[in-house]
């Protein structure tokens, strides 16, 4: 599981303390699970893991850490929503880390963990700190490659690209789809674009690619209808923008190849255009390179506008109409 901005992953030698901080629930859960599995191994978590919340007394947490593990070499004491706990017991926690339990691992899950504190430095010295902050610039392709590797698979770049276009930057959704794909391909070690098309795209709902189909056809009314069907809940705006960007990258690639003399079918294959190649080529033929470059400028203006407070629906509507012109 790729940790985004996290420091090194859990090593084979468990630490006495881990701090997970940030708002990305997928990363928080994934790191927590991996730490617990690494610390207790095959032991029963029912008897080796104690979970407390941020209102816990320090004495109770320390007692749990110093309690000898049952049928295991170590035990885990997990404090959720630990911001208030950390704030109330910062100095005592620093003292504890000078002589921590030899059989207990403390895991603190907090919203934030400032670097400019003595406790941060103390934890960094004897434990590990994991940033679980949502990062819009995360390399999703690398995330999918890592998720595939964890399952003994490889995912083709075009397959990863298709998944990202369909699912956006939702790490939990991407990870869940990777699990399904790994089971779907069985003993085969490679996940292809066809696999993604069959298992992910086909179950994503009719609106998933209706927008790019309408853009390909130059159908402004159809594009607006598809757009309306995609913007059904908050957070879909940038996922939709990402799908449009994915479509435009393919348009640019095919346009450049055609201009260099590459035959249409070969250009489509190189750009990983697998569906309705005839319609796609017809659309590209209607858009010279200068027009494609203007399309990208429209995309950038929409992106900047949405990030600066412009109504996202209006920005996307203007964008798709312009791309159909």
Quote the Cα angle for 292-296-297, to 5°: 115
Return d(Cα 18, Cα 56) in angstroms, integer. 17
What pLDDT is attached to residue 323? 93
Give the global pTM: 0.56
For domain 17-131, give the CATH number.
3.40.50.300
* Contact assessment for residue 84 and residue 112, using Cβ atoms and an 8 Å cutoff: no
Return d(Cα 13, Cα 102) in angstroms, integer. 12
Quote the Cα angle for 129-29-148, to 5°: 100
Return d(Cα 174, Cα 15) in angstroms, integer. 30
Strands 128-131 and 154-155: unpaired
The larger pLDDT score, comparing residue 196 to residue 264, is at 264
Tens-digit pLDDT profile for residues 71-117: 888 999 999 999 999 999 999 999 999 999 999 999 999 999 999 99
Determine phi and psi for 155, rounding to 5 degrees. -115, 130
Report residue 273 as tokens: 């255009």
Tens-digit pLDDT profile for residues 254-304: 999 999 999 999 998 888 786 788 999 999 999 999 999 999 999 999 989
Specify the length of the chain in residues.
325
Mean pLDDT of the chain: 86
* Contact assessment for residue 262 and residue 270, using Cβ atoms and an 8 Å cutoff: yes
Arch. (CATH architecture) of 140-203: Orthogonal Bundle (1.10)
Return d(Cα 185, Cα 322) in angstroms, integer. 40
Average pLDDT over residues 170-192: 89
Report residue 203 as tokens: 């179950």
Report residue 98 as tokens: 């000078």
**pLDDT class for 3, splitting at 50, 70, 90?**
very low
What pLDDT is attached to residue 252? 92
Return d(Cα 137, Cα 118) in angstroms, integer. 30
**pLDDT class for 169, splitting at 50, 70, 90?**
confident
**Looking at the DSSP assignment, which residues form a beta bridge with residue 110?**
21
What pLDDT is attached to residue 195? 83
Question: Is-same-fold flag (17-131; 140-203)?
Answer: no
For domain 210-324, give the CATH number.
1.20.272.10
Residue 12 has pLDDT above 80, yes or no: no
Annotated domain spans of the chain? 17-131, 140-203, 210-324
**pLDDT class for 10, splitting at 50, 70, 90?**
very low
Which letter does DSSP use for residue 273 in this model? -
Residue 11 has pLDDT above 60, yes or no: no
Report residue 253 as tokens: 């690639």
Tens-digit pLDDT profile for residues 206-233: 455 788 888 999 999 988 988 888 787 7
Return d(Cα 109, Cα 83) in angstroms, integer. 8
Specify the DSSP element, H or E, that contains 184. Answer: helix 171-185
Average pLDDT over residues 145-150: 91
What pLDDT is attached to residue 1? 40
Max mean pLDDT range (26-35, 119-128, 171-180): 119-128
């Amino acid at each position: 599981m790729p940790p985004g901005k996290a420091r090194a992953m859990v090593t084979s030698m468990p630490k006495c303390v881990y701090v997970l901080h940030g708002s990305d629930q997928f990363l928080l859960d994934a790191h927590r699970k991996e730490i617990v599995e690494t610390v207790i191994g095959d032991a029963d978590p029912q008897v080796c893991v104690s979970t407390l919340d941020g209102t816990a007394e320090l004495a109770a947490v320390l007692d749990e850490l110093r309690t000898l593990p049952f049928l295991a070499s170590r035990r885990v004491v997990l404090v959720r929503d630990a911001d208030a706990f950390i704030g109330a017991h910062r100095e005592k926690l620093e003292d504890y880390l000078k002589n921590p339990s030899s059989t207990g691992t403390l895991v603190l899950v907090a919203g934030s963990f400032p670097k400019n504190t003595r406790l941060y430095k103390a934890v960094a010295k004897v434990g590990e700190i994991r940033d679980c902050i949502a990062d819009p610039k995360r390399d999703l392709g690398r995330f999918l490659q890592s998720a595939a590797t964890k399952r003994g698979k490889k995912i083709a770049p075009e397959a990863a690209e298709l998944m990202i276009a369909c699912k956006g930057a939702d790490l939990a959704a991407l990870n869940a789809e990777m699990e399904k794909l790994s089971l779907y391909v069985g003993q085969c070690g490679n996940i292809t674009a066809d696999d993604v098309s069959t298992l992910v795209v086909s179950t994503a709902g009719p609106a998933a690619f209706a927008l790019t189909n309408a853009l390909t056809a130059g159908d402004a009314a159809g594009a607006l209808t598809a757009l309306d069907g995609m913007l059904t809940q908050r957070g879909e705006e940038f996922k939709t923008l990402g799908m449009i960007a994915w479509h435009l990258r393919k348009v640019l690639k095919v346009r450049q190849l055609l201009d260099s003399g590459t035959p249409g079918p070969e250009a489509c294959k190189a750009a990983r255009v697998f569906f309705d190649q005839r319609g796609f080529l017809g659309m590209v033929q209607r858009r010279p390179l200068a027009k494609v470059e203007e399309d990208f400028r429209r995309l950038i203006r929409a992106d900047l506008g949405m990030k600066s407070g412009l109504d996202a629906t209006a920005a996307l509507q203007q964008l798709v109409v312009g791309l159909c012109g």
